[in-house]
Structure 1
């Protein structure tokens, strides 16, 4: 555990990504304390530029963009985390069941997974959201969670099939341990890195998809989220009238959070994958060797390569 924490501390991608994600979580948790009124309340003249009084400007309806951003962060993060948990739970449960039990169970789950993978996700989400009409953020999270688990199930199944033939699994089966204990004690801990990567990727996908659906007008216009901020900015022709701040704030919020989650994802992947860790170490080693050779060349000392060539000529 200490070694894993040291690797986390050394990895700059994890450090930066974790800092960004924790900042957004703090904003979401403390939004009621950091704002003075309801986000949909009219507090100023329409389309006021950012100023000391309204640091992020106002919308066409006279709403403070800062308050919309703070409360929208809470909604968008809640949707991302909720749908991410659903995707991970469904994908992990089905993938592990298919990989461990095999036989008919594997055939049925693989058939359902293949069908879910073939169906294009975004058009399906558009149809479902349009059928429901003005879907709330909770409804959007449930729709995304129930339709986006297939990729995680496929990856988890493949890794479970690899673990299924390991010696410690065979030993547990020979000791007549129940299947539930083998899955929860022996298999799932070895899938923790894959489950974590699937969870982070699902959050990114959910937040972007929710913003897309709401931007297209398929969400609840009264809900406060980054997607509805973009939808209202589009309806008010914010860019046309020069109210760039109304579009920039939610776009930057989504981009920066996506970057933080992606960095966290890549960093954890490097820590969990020894090959990537070795490749990173080799780059640092080669860089160090290059620096030493440059110092030797400046000092007039023969490099190891030159010494080898002289010895060979001799």
Structure 2
């Protein structure tokens, strides 16, 4: 009696791949939603706002005019519209913030991930250079570099470069430690044995596991850059012939807005900086829940303290994964 073998093809578990990708995304929570909404509104304002307003340097006879229907946020000492200046200032601060975030992330990934994976004298050299940069005080170095550059050459990207040079070392140390742990995993060793090239092992096997860490570091670098630029501008070392939130505060301080009672000149830009920093911090907290499992356990424990049943908690966790 002949027996026939029927070959059946097993479809790949698509749901599993979707779940693994979903674990790399922050879980939906009130703080994440609030952070995304606030940050999205400010970013949209920085992109669209300058296209809808007039010239931020236009002067008028309405000196120190309070907020009104004609000037929503009042005017400056020269009669310039504060609302218009803040629209351009948000765009300038966002350019510096995201430029520093990208540059700092690239530098930290190069010196942290590449050095740790290659090992040997390359890792030792990168680690030594990173430690040297790390022990140099960041703010004094930024002030020295900013004061050395002539004022007419201080543009947005030069300020971003100065801030990026002083903000990547700490992130590189974190990425190096995580990469040292990942390069000894079985799947990385299997890729090496299979003859995979170095760049493919880094991009395919190691880098996806570092995405949450790098995303958190990028968000922190953006916050540091916006606050650092505001500090430099307040000291008179900011970008020249351009508007940022820091330069607006510097002009308000120089023109004695506080003593004149012109609160509408310095409170709105400071409030925008505070709101954007708070929004990015809320997003960063959500990303930290991926990196640190203890935070997820704390979230689960908090839900239990709300008096929810086990079925309701499981339903919420399933919604977070989707």
TM-score range, shorter chain: 0.7 to 0.9
- Please identify which structure carries the higher helix content: 1
- After superposition, the C-alpha distances for 1:97-149 in whole angstroms (9 at most, x for unaligned) are 12111110111001000000110000000000000032222210011112321
Unaligned runs of 5+ in 2: 1-17, 310-322
Q: How do residues 103-252 of structure 1 correspond to structure 2 at under 5 angstroms?
A: 103-134=120-151, 135-252=154-271
Q: Is the 8 A contact 1:100 1:160 kept in 2?
A: yes
Aligned residues: 289
Q: Distance in 1 between matches of 2:24 and 2:158?
A: 40
For 1:69, the equivalent position in structure 2 comes to 86
Q: Is the 8 A contact 1:88 1:195 kept in 2?
A: yes
Q: How do residues 22-41 of structure 1 correspond to structure 2 at under 5 angstroms?
A: 22-35=40-53, 37-41=54-58
For 1:282, the equivalent position in structure 2 comes to 301
Q: Distance in 1 between matches of 2:48 and 2:305?
A: 46
Q: Distance in 1 between matches of 2:41 and 2:118?
A: 42
Change (3 A) 1:44 1:26: farther
1:10 is displaced (CA, Å) by: 2.9
SS at match of 1:288: coil
Unaligned runs of 5+ in 1: 291-314
Q: Distance in 1 between matches of 2:118 and 2:300?
A: 39
Residue 15 of structure 1 pairs with residue 10 of structure 2: no
Q: Is the 8 A contact 2:27 2:286 kept in 1?
A: no
Q: Distance in 2 between matches of 1:159 and 1:190?
A: 9
1:9 is displaced (CA, Å) by: 6.0
Change (3 A) 1:45 1:221: farther
TM-score calculated relative to the size of structure 2: 0.86
TM-score calculated relative to the size of structure 1: 0.88
Which range moved further: 9-18 or 180-189? 9-18
Q: Is the 8 A contact 1:169 1:182 kept in 2?
A: yes
Q: Distance in 1 between matches of 2:130 and 2:87?
A: 38
Q: Distance in 1 between matches of 2:91 and 2:61?
A: 23
Residue 98 of structure 1 pairs with residue 115 of structure 2: yes
Change (3 A) 1:8 1:157: closer
For 1:267, the equivalent position in structure 2 comes to 286
Residue 81 of structure 1 pairs with residue 98 of structure 2: yes
SS at match of 2:79: coil
